[in-house]
Amino acid sequence: MGQGKDCKTLLKEKIESGQPKVVAEKLKQLAGCGLDSVDVMMVGNNTVMAPFLIKEVQENNNSSPSYGDYVKYIDAIKSAPEYQKAKQQTTTLLALKNKTASLQTWDEDTKIFSEIGYSPTDLAAVKQLLKDNIDKGWTYREVFSKYSARIDARKKAEGDSATQSLINIQRDILEEERKRLAPYCDTNELVINNFYLPSFTNYDEAVACSRKSKRPLLVYFNGKYCVTCRKMESTVFGYDMVRDELRNYILADISCDDETALPVKEQHYSKALNKQLKTIGDKNADIQMTKYEVDSQPYFVIVDNKGKVIDHKTYTPDWMEYFNFLKDGIKSFLKQQ
């Protein structure tokens, strides 16, 4: 498209931000309409477009700027040294990507890769990859893509290995707790919860285990859509002192939005919730409201092995406050024995 009638029409068009596919196509057409093809590659995306649209709304009260406005916006930043450097790098990479990779011109050709962040170690590894496959006739784009794929595969393998190690640790912790509670509880009901400690997910099973094992019960009412629950699990519960105290309790990790259907014979009307209980989450929410008169999560209740409430707590981001809650709960429990 040249600087003719079509460009004039395009530059007057309003940017329809709610139609990303249309906008993306229009941006490509700006090549030759005040921007060249490299400019379009660099600024024809939402990363650059979004700040422009925000600026128009905030400064000019213009919710529908035109493509011509966008070109003017880009013109204002094209002379910046950072933009010019990035454009030169992009131009060099475009020229290089389809060139056959060569060991003879390697040092000169790959200067650009040092500029955009490849380390000497990376470049040495890519060069070795080229040496090992020199007969393949790879372009620079292909050889660097092959290297990136190898790095991604290595990272995935390392991640898989780390994940497996964590699974093994969790399995050992779970088995240890199952052995400890086996004389008192149905340990098949124990699972590893979101913060990697053995817990019951059935309230009644947890209460029964607490009574038989003569250990205090910590009931954690939560939900999978509970943001503050996830915050505590990823921060407060990550402290070793907190985790050590948690191991003194029988843990009940009770989800109040578990969508698993209850058996028909267990479905009934709840006065506390004023609705029919149809799911496990409904049942758990009813337990929380009926027994503790609270309907928000996270909610923690420390109960002795006879069913008496020792203490309770709602959300806190302070790990020391939560640690003291757990520690004081143990002290109170031991005094009652």
Q: Comparing C-alpha atoms, which of 91, 88, 69 is closest to residue 80? A: 88
Domain match, 103 and 244 both? no
Q: Which of residues 53, 78, 103 is at a domain's end?
A: 78
Does residue 274 come out as left (phi exceeding 0), alpha (psi in the -120 to 50 range) or beta? Answer: left
Query: What digits encode the pLDDT tens for the residues 244-284?
Result: 999 999 999 999 999 999 999 999 999 999 999 999 999 99
List, for residues 33-64, the tens digit of each pLDDT value.
989 999 999 988 777 888 888 777 777 665 67
Rounded to two decimals, what is the model's pTM?
Answer: 0.55
Q: Is 160 within the bounds of a domain? A: no
Total tally of structural domains belonging to the chain: 3
- 218, 246 in Cβ contact below 8 A? yes
Q: Are residues 211 and 310 in the same domain?
A: yes
pLDDT band at 1 (very low <50, low <70, confident <90, very high): very low
Tokens of 76: 């204002």
Judgement on whether residues 144 and 210 belong to the same structural domain of the protein: no
Contact 264, 239 (CB under 8 A): no
- The domain spanning residue 330 has which CATH number? 3.40.30.10
Q: Which two tokens stand for residue 169?
A: 């640790």
Contact, 195 vs 188, CB < 8 A? no
Query: Is residue 205 located within the same domain as residue 249?
Result: yes
Residues of the chain with pLDDT > 70, as a percent, come to 97
Q: Which residues contact 133 (CB under 8 A, 6 or more apart)?
A: 143, 146
pLDDT at residue number 2: 43
Handedness of CA 236, 238, 244, 246 (dihedral sign): positive
Give the domain range for residue 314. 182-336
Domain identity same for 100 and 51: no
